[in-house]
Amino acid sequence: MSAVKKSKAPARAKYDRIHTSNPIADADPVTKERIGQLEHYIMKNCLWQFNSRGWDRRKQNAGILSKTAQLLCDETVENPTPMEKCYWVDAVLLDEAFRERCLWLRGMAKEEIKRIMQLLHARIDWVTIDGSLNEELTVQNY
C-alpha cells in the first residue's frame, strides 16, 4: 500500500502590511503623473526592487529612496555602514536619472521634492510589498 504524502505548506512569517491600499489613489492628477514617471523608471531599470523577502524590500526601499531624496535636495548623505554605502550607490544612480528625465524636479522646492519622494516610497512599497500578490515574500525560510 503506498502512502500519499501531502506537501507541507511553507511557513509564513508574521507579516505586517504598512499600506492596505494604493497610497496615491487620492493624489491629484499632476502628482500621480509625476510619481508614475519615477515609478516607471525604477520598475524598468532597477534590480534592487526584486529582493525575495518583503522585509528586505522594505529596508532597501527606505534606504535607497530616502538617500535619493537627500541627493535631490542637495543634502549631505551619511553612509556609516557598508549597507548604507550600498544604498547610496543606487541612490546616486536614481538621482542622476531622475534629474535627467524629470525636468519638473528643477522647479520644485525641497519640501515638494521630499513630499513627492515620500509618496513614491509609499507607492513602491505598495507595488513591491504590501499590494504584491507574490506570496514568496512572506516565506520564513527565504
DSSP string, 121-133: HHHHHIIIIIT--
Question: Does residue 48 carry a pLDDT above 80?
Answer: no
72-126 pLDDT, tens digit each: 999 999 999 999 999 999 999 999 999 999 999 999 999 999 999 999 999 999 9
How many H-runs (helices) and E-runs (strands) does the chain carry? Answer: 4, 0
Residue 19 identity (one-letter amino acid)? H
Could you say which DSSP state residue 12 is in? B
- Output the pLDDT for position 67: 98
Average pLDDT, the chain: 88
Residues 39-43: contacts with CB within 8 Å, 24+ apart? 39/120, 39/123, 39/124, 39/127, 41/94, 41/97, 41/98, 41/101, 42/94, 42/124, 43/127
- Output the pLDDT for position 132: 81
User: What percentage of the chain exceeds 90 in pLDDT?
Assistant: 67
- Output the pLDDT for position 40: 97
Question: Does residue 56 carry a pLDDT above 90?
Answer: no
